[in-house]
Structure 1
Amino acid sequence: MTASCLGVGRAALVAMMMAGAALAPFVAAGPARAQMLSGFAQAVAETAAAEPALAAFYAARGHAPLWTTAEAASRRAAFFAALDQADANGLPVARYRAEELRARFAAIETERERGQLDAAMSLAYLAWARDISSGALEPKKIDAGIVREIRRPDPQALLNGLLASPAPARFLRDLAPKSPRYAALVKARLDLQAEIATGGWGPEVAAKRLGPGDSGPGVIALRDRLIRMGYLRRSVSATYDGDLHRAVQTYQLDQGIKADGVAGEGTLARINRTPEERMKSILVALERLRWMNGLDLGKRHIWVNLPDFTARIVDDGKMSFETVTVVGMNQGDRRTPEFSDVMEMMVINPSWSVPRSITVKEYLPMMQRNPGAAGHIQLVDSRGRAVARESVNFAAYNARNFPFAMRQPPSNGNALGLVKFLFPNPYNIYLHDTPSKSLFQKDVRAFSHGCIRVGRPFDLAYALLAAQEADPEGYFKSVLKTGAETTVKLRDPVPVHLVYFTAFPNAQGRIEYRDDVYGRDAALFAALDKAGVALAPLTN
């Protein structure tokens, strides 16, 4: 049945709907009306069948429309406005088919088409709502080291929530992450898009090293690039003066590298990166924050950013403690995974139970060559009893059938140092002290087997114990002095978040960048790109 058969032209019918008039009242009563409604309902049911939750939602409402009536005008407008911001949020715009849906509203001729469009709008809404609230990708399918549990929204809750909301624009806006980090990254995306549109940050700096007192074309290129990046006020100086020195220092701080104010090879390599390269980090960071949306970080929590090589305690949104870290090396299963858990205890004077993989892959071959190798580590049987090395024929075993475990007793030379911090998890990851202090002096600190070594472990212990001990330092040292392995439970367990952000806002509002030490961002951006996320604004 066409609109003309109903006695009203297509343009008039669409105009009435879009202006706020419901379609159904313009159909005659009796069999014709029943036929019309049946056509609408059947089209809704057929189209909604692609998503079981949506089919159930419509069925529960007698297939009543959600988008194509007069009453839905504000809901419809709010959703299209939200779709107009999908690109700013770094979402795959084409996935939601906004322009096609708009065009279909202007071309409706039959009730069947209206039913198909109503359900199509709902499918687009569910796709967008899922993406904006919890991410457009399934990270575990892209990198096995991203084991974060993602809280996907319930489709029925999304549909019923929107239906019941008296302020649909606010309801849709609240689906996105509300953290200041997310808002700052959206702004950074828009700023970078503007830079890309105007040609970027200018010519690359063609130099290997620039420092105070230097002058010439290289200094001019460096000056102009830092001006475009917002690190330096406009000037015409061709000399590497104090202002330029300070600007380079600030830039280095924002890159997490040694801030000596000299533009060496590493600094210049970063300065020469394009806005497009930086945009990739921003887009992946937005996606990672969506994965964490709805997660209660905790009034007090520990934030461990792997590529930043830092661990921080955050209290009421403000950093109260910071330390450098060493994370897993960029090899196979030694890369530190990303997940959230809860720190429940610390162990003072810990022993080290050597992971099975290290025992059979590293120590067993050593002991096969020399039974006395790694003699500072005990060999223990299945009942935890120490076994004399000379009683074992190591050549008789391999990685599959080696029946012993290995354990290093508490000591100053213990691989875990003098304290470890436990948040029990399936990946056997924890924070700990280390006797290998020199590694904390390096810019890139990916050297461990996966656990996180802490540069200021005692201070971290004091900060955590302060919530339950009047003299946290005195208490810790008294336990440490005993030399005995002692477990101290935290009265108030603290959430721990192991995250991977190569782009994040700092307290001054600038975006800091870090290197993609594990290559995870590159893989995630490739997936976002494949899904349709664009570096630059989409144009018609």
Structure 2
Amino acid sequence: MKQSMFGRTGSRVLAALLATSVSTAALAQQAGGQVTAPPPATGAIPAPQAGQTPTPVQVTPVQTPLPTLSREQAEQVRRLIVEGRIAQGLRYSAAEAQVLPQDDQGLVRAALDYARAIHIGRLATADFQEDWALRPAAWDPLPAFARAVADNRIPQWFAGLTPQYEGYDNLRKGLARYRRIEAAGGWSAIPAGPDLSVGSSGARVAALRARLAAEDGDVAATGNSFDAALKDAVVRAQRRYGLPPTGTVSTQTLAALNVPVASRVRQIMANMERWRWMPKEMPVDRIQVNIAAAQVAVFEGDRPVMSMRGATGKPGGGETPMLASSIHSVVLNPPWNVPAGIAARELFPKGAAYLARNGFKVIGTGANRRLQQQPAQSALGKYKFDFDNPFAVYLHDTPGKGIFNAYDRLASHGCIRLEKPGDLARLLLDGSAEWTPEAIDGALAAGKTVRAKLPKEVAVYLLYWTAYASQNGTMNFRGDPYGWDKTLASKIETRSAAQALAAR
């Protein structure tokens, strides 16, 4: 393996970490998957020569006229838009199946709208929630479209606009497959009743077989007995839906299987939309957190080299925001500066004795008082990973390790708790002349709070993926714990309806 991005001895450290990591690549899929993107075109303003005074750059807006399409190009554009609206997951409702304009200028405007939709998504700035802080940059497709028309390269131009990521392309393929299932009649709900397991039989087992066979080609679609092969199929389904792989169909599994295929189609489309908000090129060295799956992955050279379980924000006020930033330091033995809302709602009401017993120090008086939990008893454990963001969230250790044995790990106030924070700290600090493994251990043992600056900042992405494909192309689904899939679909439908009304 090449020398690690994290330092001179990175190969040795990564080898040790990978030896203790189970299915790193598979788990990394849950944190966002691998990505590959070509570098975007860039331009630079020449630097002034020595002794020169920089001249302010004057930018004069240039209004590019709408290009004129030939008859062949017009037919080409119509076909590409009609096919692309389906293939790229832009159709949420029948209201969007509008007839394309017949006039040349109207068709060009429709092409520009389609280009924006597949390149940066369909929301306007005002549609984004505050905690959807991962947002696409503004983009005007007209100049490049005009060049594509002039060069007669319209299909190639459109093809290059979609996110050039494996994760997006796998969702596009998954969308086509689930649309085929939907067109064939989808699947029927399995009736409620007692748990189903090996030895069960009857009509509900027959319904279970038919349901599983709709997604899993290895399942015999007929029969009313629950045998070992059917148990294996149930386990595969439970893994696809992020449920405990018990092989028994109980309440949770039944609920996941009974989600209609139309809802799964919409779920895939929502995740495709969020891919369009991503930067067109991500750093090949980065950390990704899948908020919905509570999974964390570290990538080096665009390859997953480490993964772990996390615990992310609980729904109903503790949601972890979507954002991108860079980790710049690790705080060893961090105190917990309790957010004012948490202190007022959850801690001050428990009384002075509870606060003292659990290491909380009251700072200030009256309305300005706040709480700080001392390092020895800190809810942040021994490690805190700092990155700039307006939400005051970060990655951190926790003394409560039991959460990582659970499948539902949406339990924090918005920060991300880490299963293996020590391994991550050593990986990020590898190569630092000051923060050797021995220095880290010494600082932890001393118990004092110290900040260890990373030798190189590392990008971190907090993402919300509820649908993604594994390496063999199998679609995986998670719940929509924050309701963001539904909210996104609603916002898109509202904006599309308004646009369609305005176009009349």
TM-score tier, shorter chain, comes to 0.7 to 0.9
Partner of 1:113: none
Name the SS of the counterpart of 2:252 in structure 1.
Answer: helix
What is the CA distance between 1:448 and its match in structure 2?
Answer: 1.5
Distance change (3 Å), C-alpha of 1:231 and 1:320: farther
- Equivalence map 1:125-274=2 (5 Å): 125-138=111-124, 141=127, 143-163=129-149, 165-202=151-188, 204-230=190-216, 232-234=218-220, 236-274=222-260
User: How big is the shift at 1:229?
Assistant: 1.0
Q: Which residue identity is paired with 1:90?
A: G
Match of 2:34 in 1: none
- Report the equivalent of 1:79: 77
Q: Kindly tell me: are residues 226 and 473 of structure 1, through their superposed partners in 2, closer, same or farther at Cα, counting changes over 3 Å?
A: farther
Equivalent residues of 2:67, 2:146 under 8 A apart: no
Contact 2:285–2:458, Cα closer than 8 Å, also in 1: yes
- CA distance, structure 1, for counterparts of residue 131 and residue 397 of structure 2: 23
Closer, same or farther in 2 for the Cα pair 1:365/1:471, shift >3 Å? closer
Alignment partner, residue 500 of structure 2: none
Q: Residue 307 of structure 2 corresponds to which residue in structure 1?
A: 322
Tell me the alpha carbon deviations over residues 480-499 of structure 1, each in whole angstroms, 9 at most, x when there is no partner. Answer: 22222121222222111111
d(CA) in 2 for partners of 1:73, 1:472: 68
**Which of 519, 526, 537 pairs up with 2:483?**
519
Taking only the aligned residue pairs, the percentage that are identical comes to: 27
> Which secondary structure does the structure 2 equivalent of 1:341 belong to?
strand
Partner of 1:457: 421
1:393-412 aligned at under 5 Å gives the runs 397=366, 402-411=367-376
Deviation at 1:219, TM superposition (A): 1.8
Shift of 1:517: 0.7
Contact 1:208-1:268 within 8 A present in 2 as well: no
Equivalent-residue separation in structure 2 for 1:161 and 1:208 (angstroms):
63
Residue of structure 1 equivalent to 2:64 = 57
> CA separation in 2, counterparts of 1:440 and 1:254?
19
Describe the SS at the equivalent of 2:292. helix
Q: CA deviation at 1:474?
A: 4.5
> For 1:457 and 1:140, how far apart are their aligned partners in 2?
37
Give the match for residue 337 of structure 2. Answer: 353
User: Closer, same or farther in 2 for the Cα pair 1:500/1:138, shift >3 Å?
Assistant: farther
Task: Give TM-score, length-normalised by structure 2.
Answer: 0.79
Could you say if the C-alpha distance between residues 202 and 379 of structure 1 is closer, same or farther in structure 2, counting changes exceeding 3 Å?
A: closer
Following TM superposition, by how much is the alpha carbon of 1:434 offset from its aligned partner in structure 2, in angstroms? 0.9
* Preserved CA contact (<8 Å) 2:81 2:111: no
8 A Cα contact 2:91 2:97, kept in partner: no
Conserved? CA contact 2:190–2:258, under 8 Å: yes
Structure 2: how far apart are the matches of 1:406 and 1:269? 42
1:238–1:340 distance in 2 versus 1, CA, 3 Å: same
* Structure 2: gaps (5+ residues): 1-59, 498-504
1:127-159 deviation per Cα after TM superposition (whole angstroms, max 9, x unaligned): 111111011124763533212232121345444
282-291 or 132-141, which moves further after superposition? 132-141
Q: 1:416 aligns to what?
A: 380
**CA shift in 2, pair 1:238/1:403, >3 Å:** closer
Say whether 1:289 aligns with 2:272.
Answer: no
1:379 aligns with 2:377: no
What SS class does the counterpart of residue 308 from structure 1 fall into? coil
For the residues of structure 1 that align with 2:73 and 2:452, how far apart are their CA atoms? Answer: 54
Answer yes or no: is the 8 Å Cα contact 2:395–2:416 preserved in 1.
yes
Q: Counterpart of 1:66?
A: 67
Deviation for aligned residue 1:418: 0.5
Question: Would the alpha carbon gap of residues 495 and 140 (structure 1) be closer, same or farther in structure 2, given more than 3 Å must change?
Answer: farther
> 1:461-514 deviations in whole A, cap 9, x for unaligned?
233234657996555323322222121222222111111111111122111111
Distance 2:189 2:152 in 1: 52
Q: State the one-letter code of the partner of 1:233.
A: V
- The residue number in structure 1 matching 2:286 is 301
Q: How does the TM-score come out when normalised to structure 1? A: 0.74
**Structure 2 residue matching 1:406: 3-state secondary structure:** strand
Aligned to 1:344: 328
Per the alignment, in what secondary structure is the counterpart of residue 374 of structure 1?
helix
1:95/1:478 Cα in 2 relative to 1: closer, same or farther (>3 Å)?
farther
1:56 aligns to what SS in structure 2? coil
Q: Is the 8 A contact 1:162 1:168 kept in 2?
A: yes
DSSP-derived class of the 1:150 partner = coil
Q: Is the 8 A contact 1:132 1:175 kept in 2?
A: yes
- How many residues align? The count is 434
Change (3 A) 1:421 1:217: same
CA positional deviation for 1:231: 5.2
| Residues 48-80 of structure 1: per-residue CA shift (max 9 Å, x gap) | xxxxx999212xxxxxx6124xxx456434422
**SS of residue paired to 1:488:** strand
- Residue type matched to 2:426 in 1? Y
CA contact (8 A) 1:67 1:73 kept: no
Partner of 2:90: 91
Amino acid at match of 2:231: H
Greater gyration radius:
1
- Equivalent position amino acid for 1:136 in 2: R
Return the structure number with greater relative CO, CA threshold 8 A, min gap 6.
Answer: 2
Q: Report if aligned partners of 1:301, 1:315 keep a CA contact under 8 Å in 2.
A: yes
Counterpart residue number, 2:42:
none
2:460 aligned residue: 496
